[in-house]
Structure 1
Amino acid sequence: MPRLSEVIAALDSLWPPGRAEQWDAVGTVCGDPGAEVRRVLFAVDPVQEIADEAIRLGADLLVTHHPLYLRGTSTVAASTFKGRVVHDLIKHDVALHVAHTNADTADPGVSDALAGALGLRVLRPLVPDPSDPAGRRGLGRVCELDHPLSLREFGARAAERLPAAAQGVRVAGDQDAVVRTVAVSGGSGDGLFDQARNAGVDAFLTADLRHHPVSEAIQTSTLGLVDAAHWATEWPWCEQAAAQLDEISDRHGWDLRVHVSKTVTDPWSAHFAPTDAVTPSAPGAPARSPGAPN
C-alpha cells in the first residue's frame, strides 16, 4: 500500500500547487504523511455530509475541489462546523487534500470534464496559461458541438447531461439562435464574459451568473448564456480525477480503491417555477396574474 505522502505527490503531479491562484488554499489540510492509503473518495465540497460519507466508506483520503479554509482560520475548534469536519476526519484517520484553481487550469482540468459531460469537443483554453508553451492549460475551454443546436436545445442538453440540482439550468439570449461553438467554465464565470465574446463563440455555459452582468451582456452582444448550478458544473471533474488516480494506481501497482461521491452538496435544496395558474389572492382582493410584482 502507498503512503499518504506518495499519493499526495501523485496528485500534485496532476495539479501542481504552484499553479493555484495566490488567494487560493490548496494542498493537504490534515493527514499523516506516513499513513497507508487504501481507499480514496473524491467530492466537490468538504462539508459534514461528505466527511461522514468518507468515514462510512472507510476512506483513508478525501480529495475535494473546494477548500475547507479558503480565507484561513485561527481555530479548528469542534464547536464550528469546519472544525467539526477536521476533528471527525482526524479521529477516523481520514486525510483531506484540496485541488482547486490548480485543477481548474490543468490539462485536463475542471472545464475539460465539464465539456466531456456535455458532449463537446475541446478546441483550446478560453484564457490560456502564458507559462504553458503548448497552449493547453488555462481557465475555461472553447469547444464545438457535434452538430448545431438552438440555444434552447443546448440549454436542454445541459439540463439533461449535468448532475441534477435544484437550480436547474437557466438560459439568457435568443432561444432560437444557432449554437455551433461554446465556451465553458466550471464554477463561477461571469467575470469571463469579455473573454467569451472575444473568443467568437455562440454561447457561454458557466455558473453563478448575476443579474446585472447578464443583463448587460445580452444587451451588448448576441452571446447566449447558460447558467447551471455551481456544484453541477464541477462535479464531472471528480469522475475525471478519480480516473486519473486509478491510472496512476495501476501503473504503480498500488491497488487503490477510488470512489466518487454522488451526494448532492449544492446548497440550494428546492426550486419553484412559475405556473400558468392564477395566483390565489386574499379574500376580497383582486386575483394577481402569475409573475406580477406584489
Structure 2
Amino acid sequence: MTTVADAVAALDAAYPPALAESWDAVGLVCGDPAEEVTGILVCVDPTESTVDEAIELGAQLIVAHHPLLLRGVHGVPADTPKGSLVHRMVRAGVALFCAHTNADAADPGVSDALAEAIGLTVTGPLNPNVDGTTGIGRIGTLDKPEPFAVFVERVARALPATEGGVRAAGDTNRRVQTVAVSGGAGDSYLSAAAAAGVDAYVTADLRHHPASEHLAAGGPALVDVAHWASEWPWCEQAAGILRAGLGGTVSVTVSTIRTDPWTAQSAGAPTRTGRFTG
C-alpha cells in the first residue's frame, strides 16, 4: 500500500525542506500521512478549481507549488475562502502538500523546468546557494543565437497561453544566446541577471520602475510572462518524481486548469512609436 507519507518522502528527497526560505510554509498542510494514496493531482495553485479536479479524479493527494496558508493563521473556519478549501479536502479525504521555495531552489527545480521548456541547456544557478548547485533561478544557453524578437516568440510558444500573454523589453534585433530564467516573481534578481552578463532574462511579475531602471543601466533584455505560466512546467517535473519514487503504483495527473487570475484584457492595439494619441 502506498501512503501519503510515501509521497511526502519522495517529494522531500527531491525538494529538501531545508532549502525553503525562512518565511515560507512548505510540507503537508492537511491529511493523514498513514492514508492510502492511489491518485495524485499536481498543480501550481491549490484553489477551488483544482480541489474540484482532485475530488472528481478520486485523488487522495494534491501536490501544489504555492502554499495555501503562507501567513500565520489562528483558524480555518469554513466560511472563509481558504478555510472552506481545508474543510472540503478533509471531508473528501484529500491531503495537500506544498513545495514552494524549496522547489524553486532544488536541483532540478522550478527554474530548470522553465529553462527546459524554453529550450535552454542549463549551466548553473542564477543566485547560487553555498553548495553552488542549488539556488534560485538558472542560467542557460541556446544552441545558437537568435534575434530577441524570435526568442520572445519562442518563450510564448513554450508556455501555456494566458490573457496577459508575454511582454518583452529591449532591442528586438539584439542577439540572444545566454539566458537567465527565474520561475515566479523575479525582479529581485534583476541585478543578478545583469551581473551574469546574459543576453536576456525571463521571469514573471516585473514592475515598471525596476524594469525601467534595469534597462537604463544596460541590463539584459527582459521577457515578462504570467506567474502561473512560468511555474506550470514544474508540475510535470514533480509528477515524474512521484511516478519514479512511488514505483508507478499511483496514478499521477498534471492539472491543465489555468489558475492565472487574469481573465480578460483590452483588445486595443499597442503603439510602437513610443507615443500615444488622445
Q: TM-score category by the smaller chain? A: over 0.9
* Pairwise CA distance, 1:274: 2.6
C-alpha separation between the residues in 2 aligned to 1:222 and 1:210?
15
Structure having the higher Rg: 1
3-state SS of the aligned residue for 2:232? helix
> Aligned pair in 2 of structure 1 residues 255, 211: CA closer, same or farther (>3 Å)?
same
In percent, how many aligned pairs have the same letter? 53
Kept in 1, the 8 Å contact 2:2–2:246? The answer is no
TM-score calculated relative to the size of structure 2: 0.96
C-alpha separation between the residues in 1 aligned to 2:6 and 2:219?
49
TM-score calculated relative to the size of structure 1: 0.91
Q: Is 1:116 the counterpart of 2:110 in the alignment?
A: no
C-alpha separation between the residues in 2 aligned to 1:236 and 1:222?
26
| Letter of the 1:25 counterpart | A
Q: Is 1:140 the counterpart of 2:137 in the alignment?
A: yes
Find the partner of 1:203 among 200, 213, 219: 200
* Pairwise CA distance, 1:222: 4.3
**Aligned twin of 2:277:** 292
3-state SS of the aligned residue for 2:23? coil
Which segments of 5 or more consecutive residues in structure 2 lack a partner in the other structure?
none
C-alpha separation between the residues in 1 aligned to 2:220 and 2:4?
46
Which segments of 5 or more consecutive residues in structure 1 lack a partner in the other structure?
278-289
C-alpha separation between the residues in 2 aligned to 1:275 and 1:267?
22
C-alpha separation between the residues in 1 aligned to 2:26 and 2:277?
46
Q: Is 1:164 the counterpart of 2:158 in the alignment?
A: no
C-alpha separation between the residues in 2 aligned to 1:196 and 1:276?
28
C-alpha separation between the residues in 1 aligned to 2:147 and 2:252?
38
**Aligned twin of 1:274:** 268
> Aligned pair in 2 of structure 1 residues 154, 72: CA closer, same or farther (>3 Å)?
same
C-alpha separation between the residues in 1 aligned to 2:19 and 2:134?
10
Q: Is 1:5 the counterpart of 2:5 in the alignment?
A: yes
| Residue deviations 1:54-99 (CA, integer Å, cap 9, x gap) | 1001001000000001112112111111011101100000000000
Greater RCO, CA 8 A, separation 6+ = 2
Kept in 1, the 8 Å contact 2:148–2:173? The answer is yes
C-alpha separation between the residues in 2 aligned to 1:33 and 1:218?
49
Greater shift in the superposed pair: 1-10 or 97-106:
1-10
Pairwise CA RMSD? 1.4
Q: Is 1:155 the counterpart of 2:155 in the alignment?
A: no
**Aligned twin of 1:20:** 20
Kept in 1, the 8 Å contact 2:40–2:250? The answer is yes
Kept in 1, the 8 Å contact 2:2–2:249? The answer is no
C-alpha separation between the residues in 1 aligned to 2:187 and 2:259?
22
**How many matched pairs?**
275
* Pairwise CA distance, 1:18: 1.7
**Aligned twin of 2:234:** 237
Kept in 1, the 8 Å contact 2:190–2:214? The answer is yes
**Aligned twin of 2:243:** 246
